[in-house]
Structure 1
Amino acid sequence: MNEFVELGIYTQLARIGKALAHPVRLRLLDLLEDGEIEVDRLARAADVSLKNTSAQLQQLRSANLVVTRRQGNRIYYRLAGPEVSSLLSALQSCAEQRLADLREAIADLLGDPDEMMPVTVDQLRTRLDDPGVVVVDVRPAREYARGHIPGAVNLPAQELEARFDDIPRNVEIIAYCQGPYCVLSPDVVRLLRDRGYPARPLAGGMTRWAREGGTVQRGGQIDADR
């Protein structure tokens, strides 16, 4: 009988593994790290159809990894708790250490770490008050308002070409975007370097900052020419 009880326990544990065993679901969970979001916006951010997004969210909800809130005709999703974020962090860390194919895919997407020289969360923490550093959030203004690193200026990636003159040259720029596999900040760093600006990306972006206990500031907008 004990054998059947143990199998029952592992069957329940397997529900979590099954819920995570889909690339779209993992992508949706990463996006939900930024906080509650309406399902239509979540589908657009993931670049997945609304029908598919809703179906995948139902799978996550059945495993109690996400919860919902209804406001009128709108449905909002968020992570069920901080332990879900910790689980995602552990999964990604383990996969990056154990899967060479994943490390190669990340390097192809984000660039060679030796070339990009990303800043870690711990390194950035020690430099937030350094006048020789400007932290730049390259996400859209709406995402910046939902939560950003304290003191970060908002310079959306799509506005960079038109706002080079707003960026001081006598400082080091640390740029970040949404999550560990977001290409916006590496692309911005390359553009800044091409223009002669000293720039580095934040490893893991806003997601890793929040996961590792970094303070999150909400609302407001600070321009790059503050």
Structure 2
Amino acid sequence: MVSGHFKQDLFAQFARVGKALSNGNRLELLEFLAQGERSVESLAKVAGLSVANTSQHLQQLRQSGLVNSRKQGLKVYYRLSGDDVIGLLDALRAVAGRHLAEVEHMVTSYLTVKDSLEPIPREELLRRAREGLVTVIDVRPPEEYASGHVTGAVNVPLAELESHLGEFAAGQEIVAYCRGPHCVLAFDAVARLREKGLQARRLEDGYPEWKMAGLPVEKPETTK
């Protein structure tokens, strides 16, 4: 209801989005949905939450306009309401990283120790991939890869990495990516590859950011 105080009422609507983002579990669910549409049950499993709790979080995200849902049979599927939600998550990460010492400490002590090298920028990876200079691997689970991936990337889930080592061309650099800039899967993949004597780097962020930037992707409807 509009009270007659336009500015206050407008900011109150903005605050609905802020309230939806004020829970770590909901932020993680948004990151999973940034990879592609998923059912409530699938999200609950990957997030380590109960189905009931996951459903409650998703309803709050839907009420704030951040996600949409559809029903198919007995299952309910959720997806981001737009790619601008990915931009919102990126902005939140960036601001927290710049202004919260705790975030910097956590990233440094848990992620940077695994890979302190500068990640490769998106445009540079695109150029090098087109020139055949790198092998791009997507270390996310198969269902996320199937929902969409960087064009030309090969799905090598982290748990299966060792079994694929013989497939990489000798001397060619490998670039790994996963869900986003703080996704531990890519950090772990790069660390393991280097332990095996292979050249490896990370993409600067993940598939959602690559897609949002308008760079080439393969999706279910276009993947042969």
Q: Verify same fold: TM over 0.5.
A: yes
Range that drifts further, 2-11 or 73-82: 2-11
State the Cα deviation string for residues 160-181 of structure 1 (Å, max 9, x = none). Answer: 1222212222200001112222
Tell me how far 1:112 sits from its aligned partner: 4.4
Contact 1:116 1:186 (8 Å CA) reproduced:
no
| Cα pair 2:37 2:147 within 8 Å, conserved | no
1:74 and 1:129 mapped to 2: Cα distance? 40
Does 1:44 pair with 2:45?
Answer: yes
Q: Which amino acid aligns with 2:105?
A: E
Q: Once the 2 structures are TM-superposed, how far is the Cα of residue 142 of structure 1 from its aligned partner?
A: 2.2
For structure 1, which segment, 3-12 or 29-38, has the greater mean C-alpha deviation from structure 2 after superposition? 3-12
Is 2:158 the partner of 1:125? no
Compute the RMSD of aligned alpha carbons: 2.3
Distance in structure 2 (CA, Å) of the matches to 1:143 and 1:190: 22
Structure 2: distance between partners of 1:116 and 1:132: 19
- Paired position in structure 2 for 1:104: 105
Paired residues of 1:89 and 1:211 also in contact (CA < 8 A):
no
How far has the Cα of 1:122 moved from its partner?
2.5
Match of 1:209 in 2: 210
In structure 2, relative to structure 1, the CA distance for the partners of 1:113 and 1:188 (3 Å cut) is closer
Q: In the aligned structure 2, how far is the partner of 1:65 from the partner of 1:161?
A: 38
Displacement of 1:24: 0.7
**Secondary structure of the structure 2 residue equivalent to 1:144:** helix
The offset of 1:208, in angstroms, is 2.2
The one-character-per-residue Cα deviations of 1:14-70 (angstroms, maximum 9, x if unpaired) are 111111111111111111111211111111122222121111111111111111000
Pair 1:137-2:138 in alignment: yes
State the AA in 2 paired with 1:184: L
User: Structure 2 vs 1, CA of residues 215 and 76 (structure 1 numbering), >3 Å: closer, same or farther?
Assistant: same
Q: SS at 2:116's partner residue?
A: helix
Verify the 8 A CA contact 2:34 2:86 in the aligned structure 1. yes
* Alpha-carbon distance in 2 for matches of 1:176, 1:140: 12
Using the TM superposition, give the Cα deviation of residue 114 of structure 1 relative to its aligned residue in structure 2, in angstroms: 7.1
Unaligned runs of 5+ residues in structure 1 are none
Cα distance, 1:162–1:211 mapped onto 2, change above 3 Å = same
SS in structure 1 of the partner of residue 68 of structure 2: strand
CA–CA separation in structure 1 for the residues paired with 2:111 and 2:83:
27
Separation in 2, partners of 1:165, 1:89:
35
- The aligned length equals 222
Q: Which residue of 2 aligns with 1:174?
A: 175
- Alpha carbons of 1:86 and 1:115: their partners in 2 closer, same or farther (altered >3 Å)? closer
Maintained 8 Å contact 1:153/1:221: no
Q: Secondary structure at the match of 1:173?
A: strand
Query: Which stretch shows the higher mean deviation, 156-165 or 26-35?
Result: 156-165
Larger strand percent = 2
Structure 2 unmatched ranges of 5 or more: none
User: Following the alignment from structure 2 to structure 1, what is the Cα–Cα distance between the partners of residues 208 and 113?
Assistant: 20
Check the 8 A contact 1:66/1:77 in 2, yes or no: yes
SS at match of 2:119: coil
What is the aligned partner in structure 2 of residue 196 from structure 1? 197
The letter for the 2-side match of 1:181 is H
Contact 1:19 1:59 survives alignment (8 Å): yes
For each residue in 1:130-153, what CA deviation from the matched residue of structure 2 results, as whole angstroms up to 9, or x when unmatched?
Answer: 222111111222221111111111
* Counterpart contact for 2:115–2:191, Cα < 8 Å: no
Change (3 A) 1:115 1:149: same
